[in-house]
Structure 1
Amino acid sequence: METSRMEGSMHREAHQTQNGLQMEAPTTQGTCSVILHTISAYAEITNITMFERVLGMKRVDDFSPRLFPDLNNGGQSFFNLFTASPVIVTAFTFHFNLHPVGFELKDPLQVLSATKVSVILCATIYSATGLFCYLLFGDSTMTDVLMNFDESSGSSIGSLLNDVVRASYAIHLMLVFPLLNFSLRANLDELLFPKKVSLVNDNKRFFGLTFPLLISCFLAAIAIPDIWYFFQFLGSTSTVSIAFIFPAAIVLRNVNGISTLKEKIIASVMFALAVATSVIAISTNIYSFTETEEA
């Protein structure tokens, strides 16, 4: 009796489950869920796994893409967005070299088109680098992406691509450093020797400024363990000032009386946003740095 009662109960539960599945199957929500799940699984297999096989690497942790930052850590991830913004701005800060480049051109107005092309190329390269690195390493992506490529892979193609990435970054530094060092040396010369002859005509002063700057940059590159800290504080202070605060201040000051009301409003908004972002970024940097030291 008891056995037959249990069998009857099991048959009824199975029948109810089957009916529930049959009722749920044709609904739009269930169909969309299946489609979205299939698309996401296909995208993960075709994109991420392909990169892993080509490079011969494995991601350390699985991850799920997020549209919004994770706020379970007290909102720290949200405030890190204010830190990331100045770092991104640092990559596009080239204001101090616009005039020297324009003076070297036959038509100084060509610097406008050159600037547009440069910004588009840089934005494309930066976006592609960030996208593919995140697809490859996921949540294991480090602040210095080159550190992700330090791990040796089991394939010869992966090792070759690692060497290509390192070599390309070395060439990038060789091409970029002279441009940045040129502006730094020129501004430092005007600050220390305002009444001296031009630096072009004084070789002793030229080498006297160049070698200390080279040594200082070399020692700083060795001493700073993670370049992210450098870009955090540099991006939230000097870069924000050069890219946003100083241009807005020039428009608001309006020495020549050519700024319109619309330009002044835009400059005021830009000035306020830059100051607020800088303050939040600096506070977040200090908090993150102290938390890391305590840990």
Structure 2
Amino acid sequence: MSPAADGVNAPLLGEQEKERRRHGSVTGAVFNVSTSMIGAGIMSIPATLKVLGVVPAFLMIVAVAWLADVSVEFLVRYTHSGEATTYAGVMREGFGGFGSAAVQICIIVTNFGCLIIYLIIIGDVLSGTEQHLGVLQEWFGVSWWNTRAFALFMVVIFVMLPLVLFKRVESLKCSSAVSVLLAVIFVGISSVMAVYALIQGKTNNPRLLPELDSNSSFFELFTAVPVIVTAFTFHFNVHPIGFELGNPSIMLSAVRISMVLCAAIYFAIGIFGYLLFGDTIMADILVNFDRTADTAAGALLNDIVRMSYALHLMLVFPLLNFSLRANLDEFLFPKKPLLAKDTTRFLAITSALLVLSYLLAIAIPNIWYFFQFMGSTSAVCLAFIFPGSIVLRDVYGISTRRDRLFAAGMIVLAVITSAIAISSNVYTLIGDNHGVLSQKPKQVFVSVRLQISSKIYGFKDLGGGKKLWIKQ
């Protein structure tokens, strides 16, 4: 049986690369783990403060981070107790082919969905939507070269393609360090804007506890859980990153450092974003930063925030693509030799994933509901349900009574909160489609004139509900 057949009993690299794995560093692992976590989820964190209130949101962030750390410890311990060196391999040892396939499918759905979301967000920032201009259009005017299709094509070819061709995740540590720095810049500018607004007396008073009225339900509070769970889901990269370290067990130290860093970033952007926008904060905080500022300096800061986050997502993309590619190859070609040894197959899968994610990002304008459901299903399985199941299965007889209690509690909490969140999201989705049940304000498209960076633009009605930005 080939290594791939038993759950990819080796990472992407072959046996001859084992010595090179020792060059992996804790610093590189911290950057790669942090970048794996800080993706699109950070934009929705401020909205969770609006739903939960500051105190419950802070406690939720700490609790999810702690549970994620426990689940990673479970994965690492059972990995070292057996022979498997991948997440799917660990599940195969406990649950056979079904368990391995379940992990692979969840990673494929979660990561591929995130890649599409990242490209959609990058396209929104660079080239705008029907509601607003992109940064490139604000700076240089509307032109063929800054349309969504062309701008994303250039990003995919010149930024993402070179990065996804790396065969070692450690090779991405520099781009991951830049990605984390950009996330810190995003938070830093938000904090400066919040402090400045506070000095001017323009900040909103944050709500410490949730407020339930006739238009809201207690169960709607659970819709914030998938957002926070997704923000701490990186388990698909635990094995690729850990096994490139000289001693994979030190992965736990890198994970804990990353947990503290990411939790601080999440809560900081949440509180500063809430101070800036209050109850008007949107599910995607970039929408709030997209609004026209009162001053030229404010407009420039808004553009920097948006561009820094778009660049951040460009650098997150290859890390999620790394584990997606490995698990897709294992799922489709379990009998084939290691992917790194087959250059043709490696390039074919890499190219196919890039092309397909690009085409879907162009074709699908909005998949935020998919993002919510993904956080309630596949992400929850990867972060909590599968690690807990491995402990309860206990094929090596190493689980303590405390481990089993934690694992059972983790699974029960994950199932209950996910079920409630899914039900609430379905209810909201049905309400949005019928225009009756949902209390969310609808966007009304009207002919407007916007003053952006000293350039005046307006809408031209093309008929059929379509609008075109034109310079006036």
TM tier relative to shorter chain: 0.7 to 0.9
Unaligned runs of 5+ in 2: 1-192, 436-472
Please tell me whether residue 68 in structure 1 is matched to residue 210 in structure 2.
Answer: yes
Please tell me whether residue 150 in structure 1 is matched to residue 150 in structure 2.
Answer: no
Against the structure 1 CA distance between its residues 52 and 162, is the aligned structure 2 distance closer, same or farther, given a 3 Å change threshold?
farther
Write 1 or 2 for the structure with the bigger share of strand. Answer: 2
| Structure 1 stretches of at least 4 aligned residues deviating more than 3 Å after TM superposition | 47-50, 219-228
Which has the larger displacement, 284-293 or 220-229?
A: 220-229
Q: What residue number does 1:291 align with?
A: 431
Q: What residue number does 1:51 align with?
A: 197
TM-aligned CA deviation for residue 206 of structure 1: 1.4
Against the structure 1 CA distance between its residues 211 and 52, is the aligned structure 2 distance closer, same or farther, given a 3 Å change threshold?
farther
| Partners of 1:236 and 1:278 within 8 A in 2 | yes
Task: Please tell me the residue identity of whatever aligns with 2:197.
Answer: F
Please tell me whether residue 211 in structure 1 is matched to residue 211 in structure 2.
Answer: no
Please tell me whether residue 273 in structure 1 is matched to residue 273 in structure 2.
Answer: no
Task: Please tell me the residue identity of whatever aligns with 2:230.
Answer: T
Greater Rg by CA: 1
TM-aligned CA deviation for residue 145 of structure 1: 0.7
Task: Please tell me the residue identity of whatever aligns with 2:282.
Answer: M
| Partners of 1:144 and 1:227 within 8 A in 2 | no
TM-score normalised by L of structure 1: 0.76
TM-aligned CA deviation for residue 227 of structure 1: 5.3
Aligned residues: 242
Task: Please tell me the residue identity of whatever aligns with 1:72.
Answer: S
User: Among 118, 131, 144, which residue is 2:258 paired with?
Assistant: 118
Deviations, residues 141-179 of structure 1 (Å, cap 9, x unaligned)? 011111111112131211111121112112211221111
> How does 1:59-208 map onto structure 2 within 5 Å?
65=207, 67-73=209-215, 75=217, 78-208=218-348
Task: Please tell me the residue identity of whatever aligns with 1:121.
Answer: L
| Partners of 2:392 and 2:408 within 8 A in 1 | yes
Task: Please tell me the residue identity of whatever aligns with 2:397.
Answer: G
TM-score normalised by L of structure 2: 0.48
TM-aligned CA deviation for residue 186 of structure 1: 0.3
TM-aligned CA deviation for residue 279 of structure 1: 1.0
SS of aligned partner of 1:109? helix
Unaligned runs of 5+ in 1: 1-46
| Partners of 1:143 and 1:228 within 8 A in 2 | no
TM-aligned CA deviation for residue 220 of structure 1: 3.9
What is the identity percentage for the equivalent residue pairs of Structure 1 and Structure 2? 57
Which has the larger displacement, 266-275 or 251-260?
A: 266-275
| Partners of 2:206 and 2:275 within 8 A in 1 | no
Task: Please tell me the residue identity of whatever aligns with 1:177.
Answer: F
Aligned partners of 1:277 and 1:223: how far apart in 2? 32
| Partners of 1:63 and 1:139 within 8 A in 2 | no
Aligned partners of 1:274 and 1:262: how far apart in 2? 18
SS of aligned partner of 1:170? helix
Aligned partners of 1:235 and 1:242: how far apart in 2? 10
User: Among 260, 280, 284, which residue is 2:400 paired with?
Assistant: 260
> How does 1:13-24 map onto structure 2 within 5 Å?
none
Q: What residue number does 1:10 align with?
A: none
Aligned partners of 1:278 and 1:214: how far apart in 2? 30
Q: Which has the higher contact order (CA 8 A, sep 6+)?
A: 2
Write 1 or 2 for the structure with the bigger share of helix. Answer: 1
TM-aligned CA deviation for residue 49 of structure 1: 8.5
Against the structure 1 CA distance between its residues 131 and 220, is the aligned structure 2 distance closer, same or farther, given a 3 Å change threshold?
farther
